[in-house]
Structure 1
Amino acid sequence: MPVIAPVPTGSRASAVDGIPSPRTSAEGATAAGTTVDHLTETYRAHYRSLLGLAALLLDDTASCEDVVQEAFIRVHSARKRVREPEKTLAYLRQTVVNLSRSALRRRILGLKLLSKPMPDMASAEEGAYDQLEREDLIKAMRGLQRRQREVLALRYFSDMTEVQVAEALGISLGSVKAYGSRGIAALRVAMGATS
């Protein structure tokens, strides 16, 4: 009959059995728990001050709260990389500032992309006519050669100079002028045929 030796209660036995020893799991929980506890205490102690920081950068309470909550989530996710727990508040402050900047950039971009209302609103008939013209223009643009379409879109819809268009497309200034003039001529023909 084989003799079964007692299993030692060290960390080596845990690694072999796949079961963590009580001592090892307690140490791991303390190390991880300390960081989470520290972040929790930082949250309780500094939430309002971080909210005030966000309020200096943003204009509405909801956005400020969102930014501060997101900052805590990000620092919590990266808590193992924070080597010095006393710098947690500094990381949080920097994260609040960065997230506030990002929120402002998104707002500014959104405002730029919004269409500006016309001072005098057109009648329904004029609006329908404008819509038909736009559809005709889009259809005519799709019929152009690829380079002509790119040059015209960048030059007139993106309001770029010929030099900027040349740099963006990686072609010469002369090519931009040639594609542009040929594209406009082709648009005139196409638009004349549709009207």
Structure 2
Amino acid sequence: MKSEIIHPPPGSPGAESSADTVVTELFLVHRLALVRLAFLLVGDQETAEDVVQDAFAAVYRRWSRLADRGQVLPYLRTAVVNGCRMVLRRRTIIGRFRGHREVPFWSAEAAALLGETRRQVFLSVRTLPRRQREVLVLRFYLDLSEAEIAQVMGVSRGTVKSTASRALKALAAKLQEER
């Protein structure tokens, strides 16, 4: 579901005062989808909510400096993906010093969100390399086009296409071997 938020253009009367209204409206409409996106990338609800909250806070702080306020949702998606990358990098570094520890992510709420039937696919997707996992989540969860995924990830459309193809082959092989 793609809904657009209407707001005054930059520099127009009321544009600065609308930051509260627009960011609040964006939060109410898109928070849950962004939390689910982050959850699928990082694997735990708490961290996912923190990443999304940080993304919204960044938009609010930078509101007066945003060049194209019509592109706030793509900016938020990019901020969430980048925030997830940062979390995963941090976990990797910590894991080197403490030994690898799997984050417990099957809370009752998380299990209800995903449903038992999706659990196996979710676990298989989590084994994919970061870029492949991001492409699949953005494509099949958020239903973004190749161009939108390329914009969010900062790569070319061709990279998105080839990465998605490799990811789907790897995922199919993984799920087939688990049968």
Task: State TM-score, norm by structure 1.
Answer: 0.43
